[in-house]
């Protein structure tokens, strides 16, 4: 799903874009927790467009947006941590599989 990048021209558009981004980040986090990485990738395109629009807007550094900015940053950090944890789990499982393959290979070679 790709969305054309549109310039944010007023505060209402900015707020709508930031609310949409927050919603997408929450959705991505939930999908990651469920292990549905393919759907996360589908959403990532729209998320990236929104991040570029929001961070490039003059409203991004406004004081009234500080709490929203921190909430978005927190969601992004949770996504990163959750992905890292899953990558660690996958890496450990792959290591066990490879160790098992080596053990089976040793048994086979010694028979």
Q: Is residue 2 in a domain?
A: no
Residue 24: pLDDT above 80? yes
Where in the sequence is the domain holding 78, given as residue range(s)?
A: 11-110
CB-based contacts of 107: which residues, under 8 Å, 6+ apart?
Answer: none
The pTM of the full predicted model, rounded to 2 decimals, is 0.73
> Is 3 domain-assigned?
no
Structure tokens at 98: 């490879």
Over the stretch 41-95, which tens digit does the pLDDT of each residue have?
999 999 999 999 999 998 998 999 999 999 999 999 999 999 898 877 777 777 7
Inform me whether the pLDDT recorded for 23 exceeds 80. yes
Residue 1 lies in a domain: no
**Domain assignment of residue 37, yes or no:** yes
**Residue 82 falls inside a structural domain:** yes
Buried b (16+ CB within 10 A) or exposed e, 81-94: eeeeeeeeeeeeee
Q: 101 lies in a domain? A: yes
Domain annotation covers residue 94: yes
* Count of domains observed in the chain: 1
Look at residue 99 and tell me if it is in a domain.
yes
pLDDT at residue 97 in the model: 83
> Which tens digit of pLDDT belongs to each residue from 51-61?
999 999 989 98
């Amino acid at each position: 799903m790709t969305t054309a990048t549109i310039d944010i021209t007023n505060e209402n558009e900015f707020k709508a874009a930031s609310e949409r981004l927050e919603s997408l980040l929450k959705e991505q986090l939930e999908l990651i927790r469920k292990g549905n990485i393919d759907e996360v990738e589908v959403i990532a395109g729209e998320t990236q467009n929104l991040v570029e629009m929001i961070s490039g807007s003059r409203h991004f550094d406004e004081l009234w947006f500080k709490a929203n900015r921190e909430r978005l940053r927190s969601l992004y950090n949770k996504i990163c941590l959750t992905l890292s944890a899953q990558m660690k789990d996958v890496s450990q499982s792959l290591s066990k599989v490879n160790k098992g393959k080596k053990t089976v290979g040793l048994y086979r070679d010694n028979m």
